[in-house]
Homo-oligomer: A and B are copies of this chain.
Amino acid sequence: MAFMIAQRAYIKLYLINKVEQRRGYGYQMLEELKEEFKPFGYVPPQSEIYRALHELVQEGVLYRTKQLKGNDPSVDFQEIVLYHFTDNGAEKAALYKKQVKTDLDRCIGMLHKAVADNFV
């Protein structure tokens, strides 16, 4: 088993969360995640977020739609990408989250152990 939880898994967990909250607008998710981890000095890399989204699509958890950003197509041509659960996507996501939870708990255990063993 790997030393710590993979960054990809951690990010996928949050992307699933955003889609559950119907906040599945690609660029917006990216900005929200960057903001969210600022207090931890961690900037989720854009490339990792896009790869994670790509994997979730490949795995049949999410699908993409595109729509124009504004309401008037004659004025606003910018397309945005939205992510949604596929028919059984929520079910697949729940299973995936369960696996990630196990690894999160394991990692929390290893980090707490290091604190307990090395800092009294």
Residues of A at the B interface (CB closer than 8 Å) are 1, 3-5, 7, 10, 13-14, 16-17, 37, 40-44, 97, 100-101, 104-115, 117-119
Contact in complex: B37, A110 (CB < 8 Å):
yes
So how many copies of this chain end up in the complex? 2
Contact in complex: A114, B10 (CB < 8 Å):
yes
* A107 partner residues in chain B, CB cutoff 8 A: 4, 107, 111
Contact in complex: A118, B42 (CB < 8 Å):
no
Closest-CB distance, A25 to chain B (whole angstroms)? 18
A1 to B14, CA, bound (A): 19
Contact in complex: B111, A40 (CB < 8 Å):
no
Closest-CB distance, A99 to chain B (whole angstroms)? 12
* A114 partner residues in chain B, CB cutoff 8 A: 10, 13-14, 104
Contact in complex: A97, B118 (CB < 8 Å):
yes
* A13 partner residues in chain B, CB cutoff 8 A: 114, 118
Contact in complex: B17, A7 (CB < 8 Å):
no
Contact in complex: A7, B3 (CB < 8 Å):
yes
Contact in complex: A108, B106 (CB < 8 Å):
no
Residue of B nearest to A101 (CB): B119
